């Protein structure tokens, strides 16, 4: 039986999985933007960080925050002029690649659920990078390209992981803040990894049976 998904099935999965998760991602991010203080001020064109607006949910373990991530995980690329544009194109290329390989039936086993999760996560963060910069009050009078360059991903879920400060002392034990879109991408990555393990195990058993 062919593992290539039909166009109807792909659309159905996008509507049932990708779209609801994308909406949830955007609602939670905009709630954060509307209810938490801006994490910086701009004075004479220079950004200066201000004390973080942190709201504990589970004391010492889980907080809600508002962080602007212009780069990738662990803040790589934050504060640079190239990161918003570079990572914007990276997301577009990744989305095109996933769609192409999904049509070709490249995702099998547990990984068959990965494409709709990846699509919701990528589009969720792509939306941030395209539009969030235009809503920043300090840049309301800036040029179009400058405001586009201020695009960032809204991260708001902050967890303190026991022992993590030993791995990364500068973190203070806090895992990098993330959002719903990041969770979708991570879940998809786990599904892809599990599928790879299953395929490797299947291949191992087949070789062992032939030996």
**pLDDT band with cut points at 50, 70 and 90 for residue 1:** very low
Q: Regarding predicted confidence, which is higher, 25 or 88?
A: 25
Is 141 known to be catalytic? no
The single residue of 25, 128, 155, 158 carrying the catalytic annotation is: 155
Q: Regarding predicted confidence, which is higher, 1 or 181?
A: 181
Q: How far apart are CA 69 and CA 182, in angstroms?
A: 12
Does residue 54 register a pLDDT over 60? yes
Q: Which of 24-33, 40-49, 82-91, 98-107 has the highest mean pLDDT?
A: 24-33
pLDDT digits (tens, 9 = 90+) for 108-158: 999 999 999 999 999 999 999 989 999 999 999 999 988 888 889 999 999
The single residue of 25, 128, 158, 182 carrying the catalytic annotation is: 182
Q: What is the 3-state secondary structure (H, E, C) of the chain?
A: CCCCCCHHHHHHHHHHHHHHHHHHHHHHHHHHHHHCCCCEEEECCEEEECCCCCEEEECCCEEEEEEEECCCHHHCCCCCCCHHHHHHHHHHHHHHHHHHHHHCCCCCHHHHHHHHHHHHHHHHHHHHHHHHHHHCHHHCCCCHHHHHHCCCEEEEEEEECCCHHHHCHHHCCECCCECHHHHHHHHHHHHHHHHHHHHHHHHHHHHHHHC
Average pLDDT over residues 21-44: 96
Q: Model's pTM, two decimal places? A: 0.87
Q: What is the pLDDT of residue 83?
A: 61
Is 53 known to be catalytic? no
- Mean pLDDT (the chain) is 89
pLDDT digits (tens, 9 = 90+) for 95-112: 899 999 898 888 999 999
Does residue 14 register a pLDDT over 70? yes
């Amino acid at each position: 039986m062919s593992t290539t998904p039909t166009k109807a099935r792909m659309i159905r999965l996008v509507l049932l999985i990708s779209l609801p998760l994308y909406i949830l991602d955007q609602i939670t991010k905009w709630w954060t933007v509307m209810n938490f203080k801006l994490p910086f001020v701009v004075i004479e064109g220079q950004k200066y960080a201000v004390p973080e607006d942190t709201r504990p949910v589970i004391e010492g373990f889980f907080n809600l925050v508002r962080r602007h991530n212009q780069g990738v995980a662990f803040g790589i690329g934050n504060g640079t002029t190239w990161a918003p544009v570079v990572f914007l194109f990276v997301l577009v290329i990744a989305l095109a690649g996933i769609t192409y390989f999904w049509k070709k039936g490249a995702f099998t086993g547990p990984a068959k659920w990965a494409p709709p999760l990846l699509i919701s996560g990528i589009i969720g963060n792509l939306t941030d990078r395209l539009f969030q910069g235009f809503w920043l009050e300090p840049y309301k009078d800036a040029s179009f390209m400058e405001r586009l360059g201020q695009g960032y991903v809204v991260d708001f879920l902050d967890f303190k992981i026991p022992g993590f400060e030993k791995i990364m002392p500068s973190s203070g034990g806090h895992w990098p803040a993330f959002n719903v879109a990041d969770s979708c991408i991570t879940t998809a990555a786990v599904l892809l990894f599990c599928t790879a393990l299953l395929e490797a195990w299947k291949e191992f058993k087949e070789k062992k049976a032939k030996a």
